[in-house]
Amino acid sequence: MDVVMYEVHVKGFSKLLPGVPEELRGSYAGLAHPTSIAHFKRLGVTTLSLLPVHYCIDEPHLAERGLHNYWGYNTLGFFCPDPRWAKAEHRNDPTAVTAEFRQMVNALHAAGLEVVLDVVYNHTPEGNEFGPTLSFRGLDNITWYRLAADDKGRYENLTGCGNTVRCSQPRVAQFVLDSLRYWVADMGVDGFRFDLAPVLGRTRQGYDSNAAFFTALRQDPVLAGVHLIAEPWDAAYDGYQVGRFPGRFLEWNDKFRDAVRGYWLGAGAGVGRGEFARRFMASSDVFHHGQRLPTASVNFVAVHDGFTLADLTSYSTKHNQANGEDNRDGRDGELAANFGAEGPTDDAAVNATRQRVRHALLATLLLAQGTPMLCAGDEIANSQGGNNNAYCQDNATTWLNWEQADFRMTELVAQLLALRASEPLLRHPRWFASGPGDACIAWYAPSGHEMTPHDWHDAGQRAFGAQLREAGASAPRLMIVFNPDAEPLPFLLCNGPWQLVLDSSGESAAPLVLAGQPLNVPARSLLVLRHP
């Protein structure tokens, strides 16, 4: 199955969703309501990646400000679904909360949808050595936490959260595996996305892809068939481990995010054709080793952490004042562009440009090789008002705004995923090659010739195209053309004829283009053509 992931918050998705009864909105039951399921099926996604649903508590600094940890990355109960996301009548009854969660999973499965949980085994809410004693610190501090080598009274902080769980300790590893098995065997989930995943493989010598925890995970029969997805970085000096996870792991690929943003948004000098092409083809320079496949690259443009897709094209800087940290929190350097106005505007030209770029970003994400991941709300142009770290905003900032939804985006996502499903070359299970008999890709300049080394290094030219050929075929099957520039351009096509099947800008008709004829490629657009 071609996995198409959809990262979603249980509450935020349905809290304001028309068609879901008021008493179910924002709950596990609301996420599995027929109205919610109809939206997922309309899009064509296959796998819901839920933000943390383990029992979570608020950090002291949030409680002091009257805020709450909405995202949930502060787990205290590793075998318990968070009662906050159950129906109001169930929240004080753990048995009812658990039953509602199971019913949600069953309903989603019945609709053909998988459920993946975002899990946090890298730290606990006990903070640093001055934090509260809530669980493991009071039970067996030296077993559960990584302590400084030169001072056992201090914690190693490889997570940015004050402490680091000692996953290399056998009893700790057993606890984590027991938790994972419980959520699969008893609750029915289909996989896990591991927050700050390098912590799982840390030994005293640093990160080790052959660490004992990974070996135990690989050998566990209950976990043998589930999705394993890594956030492949933590806060250690060697924290960036993209491409270095073992076996079945898929990995969030921030190189894809930055290249795609830089190419279409033109941040700084913009991203060149070579870097963009590598990321579009599943980052073989990162993942093509051992037995790993293109699907190892989890491609994304926006996720919960950072700007939404709409805000990425509406704000040049973050606006996190509501978080109470004087706008110091959140990621700088989002590679964003506002196209002439910061935030909402009545300028029709600015809004048209924003929409065009959003469409190109979505098309790139959903047609690239690898495993695509869409962030909930991006398919309706949902905004968080420029807040790129809304972890503590359990309010209209993070609840999807269905009243102002841009359903043109929804239709585009559905069209793109239908095209992806119908064309095996857009979800190829193996790496493209250049040998005879292999599925191949060839890159073309707008003048119609194959890209040369000079073309790849020409920073002044950014438009180009790719022809994809099936294994053993004498002619290419698909052509994808990219034009990130602000003006349309003629693109000379070879190996035709070609039938235009998708224009992300919505400008083009669908003519038959013969070989040797120029095709007018609209500004800031991605085109897909098929050999008739």
Which of the residues 118, 126, 231, 379 is marked catalytic? 231
How far CA 263 is from CA of 70, 281, 483, in Å, comes to 32, 15, 10
Distance CA 426, CA 276 (A): 16
Active site residue 231: yes
Q: Are strands 478-483 and 525-530 parallel, antiparallel or unpaired?
A: antiparallel
Which residue has 């799982």 as its token pair? 200
Task: Residue 372: name the closest of 253, 255, 273 by CA.
Answer: 253
Question: What is the number of other CB atoms lying within 10 angstroms of the CB of residue 507?
Answer: 14
For residue 133, with 0-12 CB atoms within 10 Å meaning exposed, 13-18 middle and 19 or more buried, which class applies?
exposed
Active site residue 22: no
Distance CA 372, CA 381 (A): 18
User: Do 380 and 410 form a contact (C-beta atoms < 8 A)?
Assistant: yes
- 294 alpha carbon, distance to own chain's centre: 16
Task: Please give the structure tokens belonging to residue 344.
Answer: 């909402």
User: Do 116 and 193 form a contact (C-beta atoms < 8 A)?
Assistant: yes
Which residue has 């800087």 as its token pair? 317
Distance CA 438, CA 440 (A): 6
Give DSSP secondary structure letters for 65-130: HT---SS---EEEEEEE-GGGS-GGGTT-HHHHHHHHHHHHHHHHHTT-EEEEEE--S--TT-STT
Sequence-distant contacts of 19-22: CB under 8 A, at least 24 apart: none
Which of the residues 114, 118, 195, 311 is marked catalytic? 195
Task: Residue 76: name the closest of 48, 103, 53 by CA.
Answer: 53
Task: Please give the structure tokens belonging to residue 309.
Answer: 């897709």
Distance CA 239, CA 492 (A): 45
Residue 197, classed as helix, strand or coil, is helix
As annotated, the active-site residues are: 195, 231
